[in-house]
Amino acid sequence: MPFDVLLLVLLGAALHATWNALVKSGTDKSLDAAMVALGAGAVGLFFLPFVPLPNPEAWPFILVSAVLQFAYFQLVAAAYRAGDIGLVYPLMRGVAPLIVAMTSGLVLGEHLTTTAMAGVLVISAGVLTLALESRRGGRHAILLALANAVVIATYTFVDGAGARVSGNAISYTLWMALLPPVLLFAWAIARRGTAPVWSHVRRNWARGLFGGAGSIASYGLALWAMTRAPVATVAALRETAILFALLISVFILKETASIWRYVAGAVIACGVLVLKLA
Q: What is the pLDDT of residues 7-22, one digit of tens each?
A: 888 888 888 778 777 7
Over the stretch 56-86, which tens digit does the pLDDT of each residue have?
A: 999 999 999 999 999 998 998 888 778 766 6
Q: Using an 8 Å Cβ cutoff, are 223 and 169 in contact?
A: yes
Closest CA to 85 of 123, 151, 133, 125: 133
Say what the alpha-carbon torsion angle 195, 208, 66, 154 is, to the nearest 10 degrees: -130
Q: Is the pLDDT of residue 40 over 90?
A: yes
Amino acid residing at 244 = F
Query: What backbone phi and psi angles, to 5 degrees, belong to 111?
Result: -115, 120
Q: Is the pLDDT of residue 137 over 60?
A: no
Q: What is the mean pLDDT of residues 254-266?
A: 73
Quick one: pLDDT at residue 24?
Answer: 67
Q: How many residues does the chain have?
A: 278
Closest CA to 270 of 149, 156, 127: 127
Quick one: pLDDT at residue 51?
Answer: 93
Name, in order, each residue with C-beta under 8 angstroms of 156's C-beta and a sequence gap of 6 or more. 96, 100, 231, 235
Q: What distance in Å separates the CA atoms of residue 161 and residue 165, rounded to the nearest whole number?
A: 7
Over the stretch 151-167, which tens digit does the pLDDT of each residue have?
A: 999 999 999 999 999 99
Over the stretch 160-213, which tens digit does the pLDDT of each residue have?
A: 999 999 999 999 999 999 999 999 999 999 999 999 999 998 988 888 888 899
The pTM assigned to this predicted structure is: 0.79
SS3 of 77-125: the string is HHHHHHCCHHHHHHHHHHHHHHHHHHHHHHHCCCCCCHHHHHHHHHHHH
Burial of 110 (0-12, 13-18, 19+ CB in 10 A): middle
Quick one: pLDDT at residue 112?
Answer: 77
Quick one: pLDDT at residue 98?
Answer: 79
